[in-house]
Amino acid sequence: MANEQDINAATIEIARPEALRWMLFVALIVLAVACGAVGSASFSSSPLTAGFMALSTIGLLLLGRALFLTDAARLIFDGERLVDDSGAEICRLDEIERIERGFAFFKPSSGFVLKLTEPRPRGWSPGLWWRLGRRVGVGGATPSRAGRHMADALSGALAMRSGA
């Protein structure tokens, strides 16, 4: 079994593949165009539907813009804190209360949710992580194996912290 220094010395990374980022971006743009076309076609018969489709189109374009402009492509756990490669600190190990995995939890696909002891400011990097109050979601457009590996590393570090 590894000792605490070995775990703290190891750096665990989870990355969103660049090809997947571009595929998500193109899918959002295509969906926005489809919503715009449906809204335009239904304007004369149903203005309410056209308005809803216009709002959906704007929302999808804003999501696509956020995905296109995001700087972060990786999350890094260095044994003490979870950061992304743009330098934003997601949370520190001593702030994590528990890790929620499984089907029953509201979590990103192929990822997990961290429950923090104190709320932190909202943050988001599309397809990589989000933070709302005391919850941090990790994953989305990341490989499931890497997500499990990071969740296991965080669980091990939490177990060592609580056992010390």
The CATH number of whichever domain residue 80 belongs to comes to: 2.30.29
Give residue-wise pLDDT tens across range 51-97. 999 999 999 999 999 888 887 788 999 888 999 888 889 999 999 99
Co-location of 157 and 119 in the same domain: yes
Within a domain: 6: no
User: Domain tally for the chain?
Assistant: 2
Distance between CA atoms of residues 60 and 54, nearest Å: 10
pLDDT of the residue at 29: 95
- Give the C-alpha distances (Å, rounded to integers) separating 126 from 2, 14, 27, 31, 75: 34, 14, 14, 17, 12
Task: Tell me: do 95 and 154 sit in the same domain.
Answer: yes
The answer to whether residue 3 sits within a structural domain is: no
Residues 156 and 98 in one domain: yes
Q: State which residues form the domain around 34.
A: 16-69
- What percent of the chain lies above the pLDDT cut of 90? 42
86, 159: one domain:
yes
pLDDT at 2: 41
Residue type, 6: D
For residue 108, is it within any domain?
A: yes
Two tokens at 151? Answer: 């969740």
pLDDT reading at 5 higher than 50 = no
pLDDT-based confidence at residue 164 (cuts at 50, 70, 90):
low
pTM: 0.76
If asked whether residues 111 and 57 sit together in one domain, one would say no
Whether 2 maps to a domain, the answer reads: no
